[in-house]
Amino acid sequence: MKLSKKLLAGALAMMLGVSLVAGCGGQKEAPKNAPAQGELSGTVTASGSTALLPLLKPAQEEFQNKNPKVTVNIAGGGSFTGQNQVAAGSVTIGNSDVPLQDSLKDKGLVETKLVGIPFVFITNTDVSVDNLTQQQYVDIFTGKVSNWKEVGGKDQKITIIHRAKSSGSRGAIAEIVLKGAAFTDNAVIQDSNGAVRAAIASTPGAIGYVDAAYADQSVKTLAYNGVKFSINDVIDGKYPVYTFGRMFTKGEPTGAVKAFIDYATSPEFQNVYAEKNGFVPVTKMKK
């Protein structure tokens, strides 16, 4: 009886030893290039509003520095392009400075407000006018007024330089300023804010509009109804020419896409980069 117990104990010990050895030998090491447990990885692709590029480019760089296993690719193309591409699944984020198109409202797109986007009207530096009323802007962009002398300037032809119909900036100006009036077709069309600014800077008598972040010393910034653009005047409601920058995703964002959106809308990022790039932090916007 005692012998049987000893044999049984020995057998159990041997079985346990074999199990431990097998367990140790069967454990696989993680691939050397795999992200550490909990480390974010993946690819974020975004397209759309060129007005938002001065904000999203530093967001891209800072986010990738913090998350080296994530690749973020950001392109322009216009707000409506961004909306259409995210709805089609071509990109994971569609950046826009206009609300969602009616034709896409059944596509399951989710909106996150990113930032307040002010727009300014700019002219060539040879234009003598410093301020226009809303009605004067309407008269110019609808083609009713075609010479600067008609709005208090010198005798000089007005050349309109602005964006294509796919542009969110154009859509915002149409809604906020023109309020349903149609833009004249007698205009030079450019495909980005930067291209509009460059063309106006080199064309005597030219006028157009850009995201405030793009206005610089190469052009002249006009007042709107007597109010010169400033971040504080947007926040206080004195300067009305602004919209919201939005990030659309197909369904609720997850993984690296959600992490990038969370970072771009965070006080950590916006408090450093929004105002210095001509935007209003979304937390300061009143509506």
- Strand residue runs (E) in 61-158: 70-77, 93-96, 109-123, 131-132
Cα(17)–Cα(21) distance, integer angstroms: 6
- pLDDT for the residue 232: 92
- Per-residue pLDDT tens, the chain, 287 aa: give them: 444 444 444 444 444 443 433 444 444 444 444 444 468 999 999 999 988 999 999 999 999 999 999 999 999 988 999 999 999 999 999 999 889 999 999 999 999 999 999 999 999 999 999 999 999 999 999 999 999 999 999 999 999 999 998 888 898 999 999 998 999 999 999 988 899 999 999 999 999 999 898 999 999 999 999 999 999 999 999 999 999 999 999 999 999 999 999 999 999 999 999 998 889 999 888 76
Complete domains list, the chain, with CATH: 42-116+243-284 (3.40.190.10), 118-235 (3.40.190.10)
Put simply, whether the predicted model's pTM sits higher than 0.85 gets the answer no
**Considering only CA atoms, which of 110, 174, 107, 101 is closest in space to residue 142?**
174
Cα(217)–Cα(64) distance, integer angstroms: 32
CA 39 to chain centre: 25
